[in-house]
Amino acid sequence: MAYESVDKLQNVLADSVFHYAKDKKKAAGRALGTIVEIITFYLLKSWDSTKHISIERGLAEYGNSEITHNVEYSLHPVIRETILSLQKSDKSLTANSILKELENSNFDLKGFIKTSNLLVNKDLILRNACTIANSDNSFLLCNLTGLKSTEYLITVCEQDSKPFAIFECKRVGVEEGVKKGPQTIEKAKQGAYVARSASSLQKIRTENGELYGIIYKSDNTFDIKPYYEFIQEIIFSNNAELLRKFILTIGVVSNHGNWFTSDNQNKELKVLAQSYDWLLFLTDKGLSEFIENLILKPAPKYKPIRDSFISSYSEGKKKNQFTKVQINLQADRLLTDFFIENNAEIEKWFNIISPMRKKLTTLKEELVELQNKNWLEILK
Strand order in 151-160's β-sheet? 78-87, 151-160, 138-147, 130-134, 113-114
> Residue 278 is which amino acid?
W
Instruction: Determine how β-strand 165-170 pairs with β-strand 248-254.
Output: parallel
pLDDT at 171: 74
pLDDT tier at 7, thresholds 50, 70, 90: confident
pTM over the 0.85 mark = yes
User: Which is nearest to 202 in space by CA: 174, 223, 172?
Assistant: 223
Inter-residue contact 244 to 379 (CB < 8 Å) = yes
341 sits in the region (left: phi over 0; alpha: psi -120 to 50; else beta) called: alpha
CA atoms within 13 A on the CB side of 197: 18
- Whether the pLDDT of residue 29 is over 90: the answer is no
* pLDDT tens string 151-180: 999 999 999 999 999 999 987 545 454 555
The span from the CA of 17 to the CA of 93, in Å, is 31
pLDDT at 23: 83
The span from the CA of 207 to the CA of 9, in Å, is 44
pLDDT at 182: 44
- Whether the pLDDT of residue 326 is over 90: the answer is yes
pLDDT at 11: 82
* pLDDT tens string 342-364: 999 999 999 999 998 899 999 99
Average pLDDT of the segment spanning 127-140: 97
CA atoms within 13 A on the CB side of 338: 22
Give the torsion sign (CA, 322, 325, 329, 335): positive
- Whether the pLDDT of residue 224 is over 90: the answer is yes
